[in-house]
Structure 1
Amino acid sequence: MNTSTDTPLVSIIILNYNAGQLLFNCVESILKTSYSNFEIIVVDNNSHDQSHTKCKEFFPQIKLIENKKNLGYCEGNNVGIRSATGKFIVILNPDTIVSQNWLDELIFAYNRNGDGLYQPKILSLYEDGILQSTGNMLHVFGFGFARDKGNPDDLKYNKVEEIGYASGTCLFTSLDVMKKIGLFDPFLFLYHDDLDLGWRAFQLNIKSYFVPSTAIYHAESYSLRWSEKKFFWLERNRRYCMLTHYSKDTYKKMRFSLIAIELLVWVFYLKKGFVVAKIKAEIEILKNRKHIEEKYLELETKKIISDVEMIRRLPDEIFVPKNVSGEYGNRTFNRILSRLSRKIKRDIQS
């Protein structure tokens, strides 16, 4: 790592919460990066495993910020962004290993395609050649999903392309773009934070891109995995994003399809044994109606791209991993989703 002025400085922000050895491995891989001008900012969310202090002792060149409490993914990363001095920033999970050329390729893609949010190919750290994401996608009902997750990497993508939103596992952009979008929304705390950011970016005509020429390797969800607590955050934040991002006119035109989807979601949570998580998510939405309305009004005043234009570009189906729902359940769910999605695309034109 050096401070050469030949290349712009990249601030790499790693948010740590009891990541243990994973944090060490991540930092070690970054230090092998072929791009020379970067800083590493480790923001710790009050870990009790001391991984952050041990990492600082072993890698004294990193900048360590210690939060007094767990601020969550969103505000934790915001702390790092506010302390960043680079032209570019990377939001990087601590349970990742980066490729040697990752920054070179992401910067090259940014310079060719312009302001935007970028993600590399994400592969499994523990399953050789298995994809975790070739771009994250947004569905009209607020569901977010990683394209090709669990599939073998067949190298079918060979050029930079627009996607729904860039994965928060490894998100690259400029500091100016991040400030223009408005950083991460602290209300979300964790999960769907990248979806929300990409959605807000698109409304400002800032696109998200997938860069297939480089990859990172991800252990995935080292803290919560697929748990009732995770389902709570996913559902709470999905509902929050829909209520704050869609105009009231759009919501009105979607109301019948939304009722049908809500019934499906209730059935899904009941079958998974997580109905309490769904109830808690709905209570949270009701308790925060005032904040939701204020956020809605803020986003409506900034919106450049209309709901109609955005919805028209969204996929009709989603991908659900088999460990979340069986193959038959996925097919049934997607058949219903597709019909309702196509109906909405017709309805919003009226």
Structure 2
Amino acid sequence: MKAPLVSVVIVGYNAKHFLPECLGSLIKGAYKNIEILYVDNGSTDGTSEYINKYYPQIILIKNSKNVGFSPAHEGILAKVKGDAVLLLNTDTIVEGNLLKELIKVLYERKDTGAVQPKVLMYPDKNKIDSIGAFFLNNGLLYHFGYEKDYNRSIYNKPMEIFSTKGAVMLIKKEVLDKVSFPKYGNHRASIFDQDYFTAFEDTDLAMRIWLAGYRILYVPSAKTYHIGGGTVMKMIRSFIIFHGEKNRIATYIKNLSPKYLFKVLPRFLIMLQLEFFAYLFIRRRLDVALAVQRAILWNIFHLNEILKKRHYVQTRIRVVDDESFIPYLTKKVRLSYYYYLVIGLGGYKD
């Protein structure tokens, strides 16, 4: 098989300090049949000038302001030429064989739609940042392996995963064409929901890939290091919580079948109320507690728009029932998981 062209799409905001290692490691990699598209999301730190000077081969797309992570991908599908698309964060450092290993697994079967490598923390390279996530029946995700030693055998087996880590994932272009949102109003076709400024867009995309009848796999032989929090660290906690919970609710309304929606959504809303009281009375963060309630209200006020997107997903993207993938990608966790979710998952035994 001829080596597929991979279009690497990177969105960055004031991320110039990450670029020497991110772009440097990518270009030095063993897989050479790539094109790189960099979306400068309104940076003021000289990012565009740096890329033009040191990486003139990169296709640079400049936004006049920071429109958010998901909106920055609007119209990107019309610009890429590759057979596969690698979505990559600026705060990553890729190993030389990353694309070779991912491409090999991605094209082994026609029904494989996307793959994720082993994502390790940086500079603590022995700990896992992500090897994918599984579904919990209360709407939360089980971050299998997070903060654990990556050398353990249970973390080095290829497996199907419910959701990928948005920091680095490789997807067939033909799959993205099938699961992306179409042009509507003033919006161009987009990989991600344009109402998601940040957070949970990766899980939303992963669910659409599964609904379209494709598999998502974790590839342990491919490695990437993730510094983490490149842009998110600059955001205030209430902002992150608002967008994360808002997007999670909208994701389930759009993608789940009625059976699963009526089972999962009430449980998740209960979890949100527990989160609200925890921030209000334990952490004494009124701003964050209110952000949880604002996330619910946003979905109520925008329900009509969400239902229009749901109609598109259910009638134009879905080709399989939830029963074909959700049950075996749902895990059960002990009660202690929720405790460690707050203080650090490194202490939870998978």
State the TM-score bracket (shorter-chain normalisation).
0.7 to 0.9
Bigger shift: residues 133-142 or 83-92: 133-142
Bigger shift: residues 191-200 or 111-120: 111-120
Q: In structure 2, what is the equivalent of residue 325 of structure 1?
A: 342
Cα drift, residue 246 of structure 1:
2.2
Cα drift, residue 145 of structure 1:
4.7
Does structure 1 residue 240 correspond to structure 2 residue 250?
yes
Q: In structure 2, what is the equivalent of residue 292 of structure 1?
A: 306
For residue 283 of structure 1, give the secondary structure of its aligned residue in structure 2.
helix
Cα drift, residue 46 of structure 1:
0.8
Does structure 1 residue 161 correspond to structure 2 residue 120?
no
8 Å contact kept, 2:12–2:90: yes
The letter for the 1-side match of 2:333 is: E
Bigger shift: residues 22-31 or 298-307: 298-307
Instruction: Evaluate the alpha carbon distance shift between residue 150 and residue 289 of structure 1 in structure 2; reply closer, same or farther with a 3 A threshold.
Output: same
8 Å contact kept, 2:138–2:267: no
8 Å contact kept, 2:276–2:293: no
For residue 113 of structure 1, give the secondary structure of its aligned residue in structure 2.
coil
Cα drift, residue 89 of structure 1:
1.0
8 Å contact kept, 1:140–1:311: no
Does structure 1 residue 222 correspond to structure 2 residue 218?
no
Does structure 1 residue 84 correspond to structure 2 residue 80?
yes
Deviations 1:154-203 (A, max 9, x none): 24144421111221110101111111111211111211001000111111
> What aligned pairs does 1:120-269 form with structure 2 within 5 A after superposition?
120-156=117-153, 157-182=155-180, 183-225=191-233, 227-253=237-263, 257-258=267-268, 260-269=270-279
8 Å contact kept, 2:9–2:88: yes
Bigger shift: residues 244-253 or 148-157: 244-253
How many residue pairs match? The answer is: 326
Cα drift, residue 252 of structure 1:
3.5
Deviations 1:196-237 (A, max 9, x none): 001111111111110000100001112223822111111111
Q: In structure 2, what is the equivalent of residue 341 of structure 1?
A: none
The letter for the 1-side match of 2:50 is: K
TM-score of the two chains, using structure 2 as the length reference? 0.85
The letter for the 1-side match of 2:125 is: D
Bigger shift: residues 301-310 or 59-68: 301-310
Cα drift, residue 105 of structure 1:
0.3
Which of 280, 290, 295 matches 1:276?
A: 290
Which blocks of at least 5 consecutive residues in structure 1 are unaligned?
A: 332-350
Q: Whole-Å Cα distance in 1 between the matches of residues 175 and 296 of structure 2?
A: 33
- Using the aligned pairs only, state the percent identity: 26
Q: In structure 2, what is the equivalent of residue 342 of structure 1?
A: none
8 Å contact kept, 1:141–1:242: no
Cα drift, residue 327 of structure 1:
6.9
Instruction: Evaluate the alpha carbon distance shift between residue 87 and residue 258 of structure 1 in structure 2; reply closer, same or farther with a 3 A threshold.
Output: closer
Cα drift, residue 58 of structure 1:
1.2
Q: CA RMSD in A?
A: 2.6
The letter for the 1-side match of 2:210 is: F
Instruction: Evaluate the alpha carbon distance shift between residue 135 and residue 259 of structure 1 in structure 2; reply closer, same or farther with a 3 A threshold.
Output: closer
Which of 95, 98, 117 matches 1:99?
A: 95
Does structure 1 residue 13 correspond to structure 2 residue 9?
yes
Instruction: Evaluate the alpha carbon distance shift between residue 71 and residue 254 of structure 1 in structure 2; reply closer, same or farther with a 3 A threshold.
Output: closer
Q: Whole-Å Cα distance in 1 between the matches of residues 269 and 169 of structure 2?
A: 34
Q: Whole-Å Cα distance in 1 between the matches of residues 137 and 38 of structure 2?
A: 35
8 Å contact kept, 1:144–1:192: no
Compare relative contact order (CA 8 Å, sep 6+) and give the higher one, 1 or 2: 2
Cα drift, residue 77 of structure 1:
2.6
Which blocks of at least 5 consecutive residues in structure 2 are unaligned?
A: 181-190
Deviations 1:136-165 (A, max 9, x none): 223333323532111111241444211112
The letter for the 1-side match of 2:320 is: I
Deviations 1:263-312 (A, max 9, x none): 32333443342212112212211221110111122222242222344442
8 Å contact kept, 2:252–2:265: no
Q: In structure 1, what is the equivalent of residue 187 of structure 2?
A: none
Does structure 1 residue 33 correspond to structure 2 residue 29?
yes
TM-score of the two chains, using structure 1 as the length reference? 0.85
